[in-house]
């Protein structure tokens, strides 16, 4: 018995501006939780337009912007309180020109499509929160440019933590998280597996990378043959 136990405990963080600010403070002190994500992300050499989905109070978006000076980030977040705390946090960091918060639900196709198209779309620590993960993935893939990347990083349901006989926000999130095969199944329902890679990440994380299939290259056509020269008039 190792089944997934979807959680709701984190919603208390999204209930008021104060609790959203408290979440930001906690996230700031948990830099080690972002280290693996930032390292993996750097391999994509991010630049251009980036969509951060489920951006929370913007702590991670600010780190991404600081590490990659050539990105401009749209931070999509469903909770009004998080959006307010996020705008405040981004302003404190002086990054308001490069990070724009948008309040909206990634489940809503119209909202996602209204954001434009992106060189990189990522979501961190958010997949296990989605009530309709396939719909969200499908929406998000539709706004990745043909040359772009879609990257998901989240906790992984690991046995050695799942069975720790304690309740804590972190352990509840571990119990609510997916394992690699489940993520592969979700991805398979919305895209072709050739374009996607699911990896276990040390110590209790996983990632999903999807690169849209490159546009098929048309074989170079034979140069049009010269029109037969007119017979010389007599």
Ligand X SMILES: C[S@@+](CC[C@H](N)C(=O)[O-])C[C@H]1O[C@@H](n2cnc3c(N)ncnc32)[C@H](O)[C@@H]1O
Footprint of ligand X (CB under 6 A): 10, 14, 27, 54-56, 59-60, 76-79, 82, 105-107, 124-126, 129-130
Give the residue with the Cβ less far from ligand X, 38 or 195.
38
Which residues on adjacent β-strands are paired with residue 233? Answer: none
Give the strand pairing for 71-77 and 99-103: parallel
For residue 156, the 8-state DSSP code is: B
Provide, rounded to whole angstroms, the least separation between the CB of residue 203 and ligand X. 17
Question: How many CB atoms lie under 10 A from the CB of residue 190?
Answer: 18
Give the residue with the Cβ less far from ligand X, 103 or 195.
103
Question: How many CB atoms lie under 10 A from the CB of residue 8?
Answer: 9
Provide, rounded to whole angstroms, the least separation between the CB of residue 52 and ligand X. 7
Provide, rounded to whole angstroms, the least separation between the CB of residue 103 and ligand X. 9
Beta-carbon contacts of residue 86 (< 8 Å; ≥ 6 apart):
20, 24, 55, 56, 57, 58, 61, 75, 77, 101
Q: What angle do CA 60, 120, 94 make, to 5 degrees?
A: 40
Give the residue with the Cβ less far from ligand X, 10 or 109.
10
Give the residue with the Cβ less far from ligand X, 61 or 210.
61
Give the residue with the Cβ less far from ligand X, 132 or 213.
132
Please state, in angstroms and rounded to a whole number, the distance separating the CA atoms of residues 233 and 147.
55
Provide, rounded to whole angstroms, the least separation between the CB of residue 219 and ligand X. 42
Give the residue with the Cβ less far from ligand X, 108 or 195.
108
- The helix/strand/coil state of 9 is helix
Provide, rounded to whole angstroms, the least separation between the CB of residue 42 and ligand X. 16
Please state, in angstroms and rounded to a whole number, the distance separating the CA atoms of residues 211 and 95.
28
Provide, rounded to whole angstroms, the least separation between the CB of residue 142 and ligand X. 15
Alpha carbon of 84 to those of 8, 71, 74, 77: distances in Å?
21, 22, 14, 10
């Amino acid at each position: 018995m190792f089944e997934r136990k979807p959680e709701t405990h984190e919603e208390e963080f999204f209930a008021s501006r104060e609790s959203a600010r408290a979440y930001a403070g906690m996230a700031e002190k948990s830099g080690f939780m972002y280290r693996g994500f930032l390292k993996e992300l750097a391999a994509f050499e991010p630049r251009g337009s980036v969509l951060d989905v489920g951006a929370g109070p913007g702590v991670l978006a600010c780190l991404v912007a600081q590490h990659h000076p050539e990105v401009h980030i749209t931070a999509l977040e469903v909770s009004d309180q998080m959006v307010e705390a996020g705008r405040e946090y981004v302003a404190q960091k002086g990054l308001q020109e490069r990070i724009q918060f948008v309040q909206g639900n990634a489940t809503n196709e119209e909202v996602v499509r209204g954001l434009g198209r992106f060189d990189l779309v990522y979501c961190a620590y958010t997949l296990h929160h989605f009530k309709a993960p396939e719909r969200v993935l499908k929406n998000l893939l539709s706004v990745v440019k043909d040359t772009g990347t879609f990257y998901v990083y989240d906790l992984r349901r690991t046995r050695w933590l799942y069975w720790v006989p304690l309740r804590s926000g972190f352990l509840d999130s571990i119990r609510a998280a997916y394992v690699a095969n489940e993520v592969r199944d979700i991805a398979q329902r919305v895209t072709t597996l050739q374009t996607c890679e699911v990896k276990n990440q040390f110590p209790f994380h996983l990632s999903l990378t999807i690169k849209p299939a490159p546009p098929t290259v048309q074989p170079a056509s034979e140069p049009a043959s010269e029109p037969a020269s007119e017979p010389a008039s007599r």
